[in-house]
Amino acid sequence: MDYFSILDLKNEPFSNSPSPEQFFPSRQHVTCLQKLEIAFRLRRGLNIIIGDVGTGKSTLCRQLIRDLALKDVFETHLILDPDFNSPGEFLSVLAEMLTGIHPAADINEWQLKDQIKKYLFHKGVDEQKLVILIIDEGQKIPPYCLEILRELLNFETNEYKLLQIAIFAQTEFEEIIRKTENFADRINLYSILKPLGFSDTMAMIKFRLRKASKSGGANFFSLPAFWVIFHSTGGYPRKIVNLCHKSLLAMIVQNRQKVGWALLRSCAKRSFPRQTRRLTLGRGMALSFIMIVLLMVVVRHDQLWNLLSERNMQDNLIAKVIDLPERLENKDISENLKTVKIISHKQEIEPLCTKVEFKALTEPEIHSSHSALAILDAKVVSGKEIPHLLGQVALKKKETLGWMINRIYGNFNLQNLYLVEKANPHISDSDIIDDETNILFPPITVKTSRLHQYLWIEIANTRSLSKAFQVLRSHSSRKEPIRIIPYYNSREGLRFSVIFETFFKDQNSARNKLETLSSGLIKSSLIRSDWDRDTIFFSNPCLVKTSKKLVIARK
């Protein structure tokens, strides 16, 4: 039986080898690569990448080497297993790796360090090369090797380090770092790789299938199967790859055309018999989510599939350049970032009710510190530039991301969750978010109509999303719910109106309701009926809540 020909594949889609060809550029991995390249070009010295087993460290390491090999300025060296028996052995391997000359048998450690120092000065000063040492499996590095690396970082000019180091290690390396304070003090970049979220899990599987398919369009998994994969593997790439491989084999053996929920669940039980991943939003929430997905598939299968497809998600990836040293002057950024690739894609998808385009960076903007540190590019809607973010709000205890999305955008759906996740690469799993985590909310425009027919009771209007949430939380004990209406127009700019969910068709009804409020609330409230003609809404004021769902008010 030819596994490839049966599935119309040209190679193994779920190989467990760290091949750069199958590197999936998730948000956190792309960001990590960009941070590393910036650190190398700025010659910052020591960089540490930490991650659990199976989070993609080795694959990321190989992709980094591949990217650096395309640029003449870099000279890259790789150590796959740093478990050396003595300091002399480590220095001997380094000297031979750098110089290409096997050290003499009677050479001592001081002479080996001197050889390495001379080589680094020649390459870094005379030839203006960036010499990079990449170490995989960093948790195996003995303490005496860490001391040698610390000494090598002392080889520097008045302006920069001569050796750039990147160590990829498992989480136990954190304890080793804590015990070696002199080494820890020299760390420039400390990045932690986390498991993938649901959207990236789905995108990774489709990406690998597209890479391996002869026609470029292979798809063997149903949407419920993707959900099972995510919660069975916890979003760990290695587990995802292994489970997908086993499920494809089971699909062939059982002579099926697609991997469905039942087949995937059976494979997951055999692969992870003691799987203990907890759904923090509860089983009921998870089942409700699955039912919503299935309903959307039935109603608008093609549009939803394109929204979640890997290709469109890659088109929506926006490079983020963050955590640049604050002490750098503009001239430093202009000089050192001129060859750093900052990617800005134009969004080609049109979500269910959203029309958003991303403005590409020009060459001068790339060189400016303000553009380099921007989280998202400015957006243009119907020819009008709007803010790139509505703002950020810290998640409080007992609050959920779904509740926040509901209060800001008027309803919680897969599309809104997807776009909020994309704006928050620091959140790897939207089900598990620590208290006080800052969440960024992107502008998601909505279509509105018949606004002139209704009146609202507005209890606050502010320029800050966080202040609007303060008002929202302070009235959380009221029986009648309130919500936030973010909007933008040329006269007021970006504003946040806090209103009651109930709205009215005439002035008398609105006044009667206003009179029932407390005296303190009456003073701060007003009846709102006017919106500027050029107002762009990010939540529909005409949403009303029924016993089951939010619907748009109709005449």
C-alpha to C-alpha distance for 388 and 320, rounded to whole angstroms: 13
| Residue of 513, 531, 530 whose CA lies nearest to 522 | 513
pTM here? 0.51
Domain 27-193: give its CATH code.
3.40.50.300
Q: What is the model's pLDDT at position 119?
A: 92
Taking residues 521-541, report their average pLDDT. Answer: 80
Residue at 84: amino acid letter: F
C-alpha to C-alpha distance for 200 and 488, rounded to whole angstroms: 31
Residue at 150: amino acid letter: R
Is residue 546 classed as helix, strand or coil in its secondary structure?
coil
Domain with CATH 3.30.70 in the chain: 451-552
Helix extents (H) in 234-388: 237-253, 261-271, 283-308, 310-315, 330-336, 363-366, 369-372
Residue reference for tokens 């008027």: 410
Q: What is the model's pLDDT at position 338?
A: 35
Residue at 303: amino acid letter: Q
Q: Catalogue the long-range contacts made by 67-75 (C-beta closer than 8 Å, 24 or more residues apart).
A: 67/33, 67/37, 68/37, 68/40, 68/132, 71/339, 73/128, 73/129, 73/130, 73/339, 74/40, 74/129, 74/130, 74/132, 75/123, 75/129, 75/130, 75/131, 75/132
Q: Could you report the per-residue pLDDT of 146-185, keeping only the tens digit for each?
A: 999 999 999 988 889 999 999 999 999 998 888 888 888 8
**Is the pLDDT higher at 31 or at 508?**
31
In sequence order, what DSSP letters do the residues of 70-137 get, joined into one string? TSTTEEEEEES----SSHHHHHHHHHHHHHS-PPPTT--HHHHHHHHHHHHHIIIIIS--EEEEEESS
State the virtual CA torsion across 268, 269, 271, 275 in degrees, nearest 10.
90
- Going by the DSSP 8-state scheme, the letter that residue 344 receives in this structure is B
99-108, 180-189, 541-550, range with the lowest pLDDT: 541-550
Where residue 351 falls among pLDDT bands split at 50, 70, 90? very low
Tokens of 84: 């050396």
C-alpha to C-alpha distance for 356 and 346, rounded to whole angstroms: 9
* Helices then strands, each counted (H, E), the chain: 22, 17
Mean model confidence pLDDT for the chain: 75
pLDDT over 50 at 363, yes or no: no
Q: What is the model's pLDDT at position 293?
A: 58
Kindly state the helix (H) or strand (E) to which residue 528 belongs, with its residue range.
Answer: strand 526-528
Q: How many CA atoms lie within 13 A of 384 on its CB side?
A: 13
**Is the pLDDT higher at 366 or at 477?**
477
CA of 13: how far to CAs of 82, 88, 209, 313, 553, in Å? Answer: 30, 43, 6, 19, 48
Taking residues 47-65, report their average pLDDT. Answer: 90
Asked if residue 416 lies in contact with residue 540, where contact means CB atoms within 8 angstroms, the answer is: no
Kindly state the helix (H) or strand (E) to which residue 38 belongs, with its residue range.
Answer: helix 27-41
Q: Please, which residues bridge with residue 75 across strands?
A: 131
Where residue 50 falls among pLDDT bands split at 50, 70, 90? very high
For residue 487, what are the contacts with CB-CB under 8 A and spacing of at least 6?
Answer: 494, 495, 496, 497, 531, 535, 536, 537, 538, 539
Domain with CATH 3.40.50.300 in the chain: 27-193
Taking residues 32-42, report their average pLDDT. Answer: 91
Cβ neighbour number for residue 375 with a 10 Å cutoff: 16
Q: What is the model's pLDDT at position 162?
A: 93
Tokens of 193: 């790789």
Q: What is the model's pLDDT at position 3?
A: 65
Specify the fold of 451-552: Alpha-Beta Plaits (3.30.70)
**Is the pLDDT higher at 517 or at 44?**
44
| Residue of 25, 20, 19, 21 whose CA lies nearest to 310 | 25
Tokens of 252: 């062939």
332-341, 402-411, 498-507, 523-532, range with the lowest pLDDT: 332-341
Orientation of helix 401-409 relative to helix 465-474, angle to 10°: 110
- Going by the DSSP 8-state scheme, the letter that residue 350 receives in this structure is -
For residue 325, what are the contacts with CB-CB under 8 A and spacing of at least 6?
Answer: 42, 44
Q: What is the model's pLDDT at position 309?
A: 42
Q: What is the model's pLDDT at position 384?
A: 56
